[in-house]
Chains A and B, each alone.
Chain A
Amino acid sequence: MNAFLKACLTAVFGFALAMQANAAEPIKIGSVLSVTGPAAFLGDPELKTLRLYIEKINKEGGVLGRPLELVHYDDGSDANNANSFGKRLIESDKVDFLIGGTTTGATMSMAPLADRAGIPFISLAGGVVIVEPVKKWLFKTPHTDRMAAERVFQHMKKQGLTNIALLSETSGFGQSGKKESEAAAAKMGITLVANETYGPKDTDMSPQLTKIRGTAGVQALFVFGLGQGPAIVNKNAKMLGLKMPIYHAHGVASEEFIKLSEGAAEGVRLPAAALLVAAKLPDSDPQKPVALGYAKAYSERYKEDISTFGGHAYDALMILVGAIKRANGVDKAKVRDEIEQTKGFIGADGTFTMSPTDHLGLDLSAFRMLEVKNNDWALID
């Protein structure tokens, strides 16, 4: 009996070993995203996009003949969690690459880990601090807050609007936006004659708007926030009969924003990636096929509207896969160098050309200025 058992065990073991040797070892991509919590509306489509495209790539034979494996943790929109999950990914899951950090806070809390372990890390967060100053192992795909502010001010100046009111959210996104807007305004000759804030969970912004309306010389309003706050600002502004043009930041670029504003979004302007208006782009636009392809794949699979945030994840994954292919292996230093060499990659967020001094690789042209017309987005610039 004993001998029989031993034989059985050996057989099972041998079989298991053989199986493992047969299948190519997967390339492990670790990710920490904010799938729950306040930043969930960013992290949720990001994770869905990663899953969708990793599945797709694996079905088509993987990368260099090896399947991709996603090891994912949800930080619940808390940067402290991101740090401990980052440690777990590197030390116990032994991932090859990192994608993620939905928020700037989460990214910065994981950045030192990636740096110490020497792991290429592509962030999906907006903050400028991620790529300025350049960190050896850290890259990112979303446009920065500064670019959004600069793009908006560029458009305002064209319209002759130079005295403006800034209304920013007290969330991390809004605060970073406030800082960048203040810096960009000084540089671009825009004067902030009023500078107000509101809380991310606030339900009424009419006091702030009343104050802005009462400030002399305000020509336009720039709202820097995300989620439902900016939609409430639209509704309050309409109720108060605020006549000045309203600009929003890129954080609210989703169909949901128009829906939530219930008609009050009419005429508001914002900078956004081409993804949002893919179908409206001229056929000559090189981004059109990429954006349309992504939009189709995502909405077919998940039966929900696309947001630009999922596009950040698409770009990060594709840049990484491209770099692995060019490096012809998963050697971390080589892949890092190849990510830095990314040139003319047309993604959902724009055309990426990275360099040793630019770990983002997008310029202002990546942002299209949109205006809400008849409850839909229209390209205006």
Chain B
Amino acid sequence: MLSQFLQFMFSGVTIGATYALAALGFTLIYNASNVINFAQGEFIMLGGMLTVFFLKSGLPMPAAIVLAIAVPAVVGILLEKLAIEPAKGADTVSLIIITIGASLVLRGIVQIWRGKGPAVFPAFSGNEPIIIGGAALAPQSLWVIGTSGVIVLALWLFFNRTVAGKAILATSVDPLAAQLAGINTQWVLLVSFALSAAVGAIGGILLTPITMTSYDVGIMLGLKGFVAAVVGGLGAGHGAVAGGLLVGIIEALTAGYISSAYKDAAPFLLIFVVLFFMPRGMFGAKKTERV
């Protein structure tokens, strides 16, 4: 009984960690620009697909991974430069629609370039499961959970301990005041897109050995990541992590104890419940609108 519960938790935490990375990506860009970047799922997809591609072209694993993080980061910058920046001053809804368009373009390019079939590469440290309390844990799950933890910590240090990070935070609080204080808000936007793309790509790379990747894997991951970000309170880093883990665990427990048929409905039901009782999400900033 306990081993069964543990098994569900392992599943939930592993998948939840990647939802958390996707949610972090949403949060980073939302903070800098108030835009929900619906191309976030595509960065996850790019991470996995590019690693497969670079490995196939003969690069060693570390080089392939570095490139598969760098290329999506550049794509993120290009997306900001070529699609978001020219539409400067447009309202948020238009910008969100632009990101949806960008996600379709990215998906389409990869579909034509790499085909529609799924792809995979071997896990970093083998497939021999670790047995804890009668439940099996894939070594790759430890990679996913561990790396996610490191990224969360690194981002926290970046935002709280460096000038550049504080500049981004300042911009998210009040862009005009930040600009007056001499912060280059344009640069802030670029960095946010690059960072969020890189974080998404890392998630994609870590997850691929477990779940495989294909040109359209970003749709569902992006959507669940979005749910996680909203549940956690959009804009809060620790909220994104908590939201991601919560969504992952609820999914696994629903599949295990109730019925796998309701598994995908559970996160979307969660979003209603959370927003009903906590309209700003679990960790959302309490804002009061001045009249």
**A contacts, CB < 8 Å to B:** 36, 38, 40-41, 44, 170, 196-199, 201-204, 206-208, 210-211, 214, 227-228, 231-232, 235, 238-241, 256, 259-260, 262-264
Contacts and interface: CB of A to CB of B under 8 A. Distances in A.
Interface in B205-229: 207, 210-212, 214, 216-217, 219-220
B212 A206 contact: no
Nearest 3 interchain pairs by C-beta: A203-B211, A207-B255, A207-B256
A260 B220 contact: no
Nearest to B262: A197
A259 B120 CA distance: 9
Given A36-B111, A210-B7, A260-B212, A239 B118 contact: no
Given A207-B7, A207-B253, A239-B138, 18 more contacts: A197-B259, A197-B260, A197-B261, A198-B255, A204-B11, A204-B14, A204-B15, A204-B210, A206-B10, A208-B255, A210-B8, A210-B135, A211-B255, A239-B129, A259-B120, A262-B120, A262-B122, A262-B127
B160 interface: no
Contacts of A207: 7-8, 11, 252-253, 255-256, 260
B81 interface: no
Contact of B4 (A199, A210, A239, A262): A210
Contact of B117 (A203, A256, A263): A256
A197 B261 CA distance: 6
A239 B127 CA distance: 7
A214 B4 CA distance: 8
A41 to B, nearest CB: 6
Nearest to A257: B118
B264 interface: yes
Interface in B244-291: 252-253, 255-256, 259-261, 263-264
29 contacts: A36-B111, A40-B116, A170-B261, A196-B259, A197-B261, A199-B264, A201-B220, A203-B210, A204-B210, A206-B7, A206-B11, A207-B7, A207-B252, A207-B253, A208-B260, A211-B255, A227-B118, A228-B212, A231-B118, A232-B212, A235-B127, A239-B127, A239-B136, A241-B129, A260-B118, A260-B120, A260-B212, A262-B120, A263-B127
A259 B212 CA distance: 11
A316 to B, nearest CB: 22
A278 to B, nearest CB: 21
A202 B210 CA distance: 11
Given A198-B260, A206-B11, A262-B122, A240 B136 contact: yes
B211 A232 contact: yes
B52 to A, nearest CB: 12
A175 B118 CA distance: 22
Nearest to B254: A207
A256 B115 CA distance: 13
Interface size class for chain B? 35 or more
Given A41-B116, A238-B127, A231 B212 contact: yes
Contacts of B4: 210-211, 214
A262 B261 CA distance: 27
Nearest to A214: B4
A228 B260 contact: no
B211 to A, nearest CB: 3
B4 to A, nearest CB: 6
Contact of B260 (A196, A201, A238): A196
A127 B15 CA distance: 33
B235 to A, nearest CB: 27
A203 B136 CA distance: 16
Contacts of A259: 120
A235 B7 CA distance: 15
Nearest to B135: A210
B15 to A, nearest CB: 5
A158 to B, nearest CB: 29
A3 B207 CA distance: 75
A275 to B, nearest CB: 18
Contacts of A256: 117-118
A44 B127 CA distance: 32
B266 to A, nearest CB: 12
B227 to A, nearest CB: 14
Contacts of B111: 36
B251 to A, nearest CB: 8
A204 B85 CA distance: 38
B263 A199 contact: yes
Interface string B106-125: 00000100001110101000
Interface in B60-119: 111, 116-118
A44 B14 CA distance: 34
B1 to A, nearest CB: 8
Contacts of B217: 201
A231 B214 CA distance: 13
A263 B259 CA distance: 29
Contacts of B7: 206-207, 210, 240
A170 to B, nearest CB: 7
Nearest to B9: A207
Contact of A203 (B207, B219, B253): B207
B260 A204 contact: no
Nearest to B213: A228
A264 B256 CA distance: 22
Contacts of A241: 129, 136
Contacts of A170: 261
A204 B214 CA distance: 15
Nearest to A40: B116
Nearest to B111: A36
A315 B267 CA distance: 44
Chain B CB within 10 Å, residue with most, of A41, A204, A228, A259: A204
Nearest to B8: A207
B287 to A, nearest CB: 35
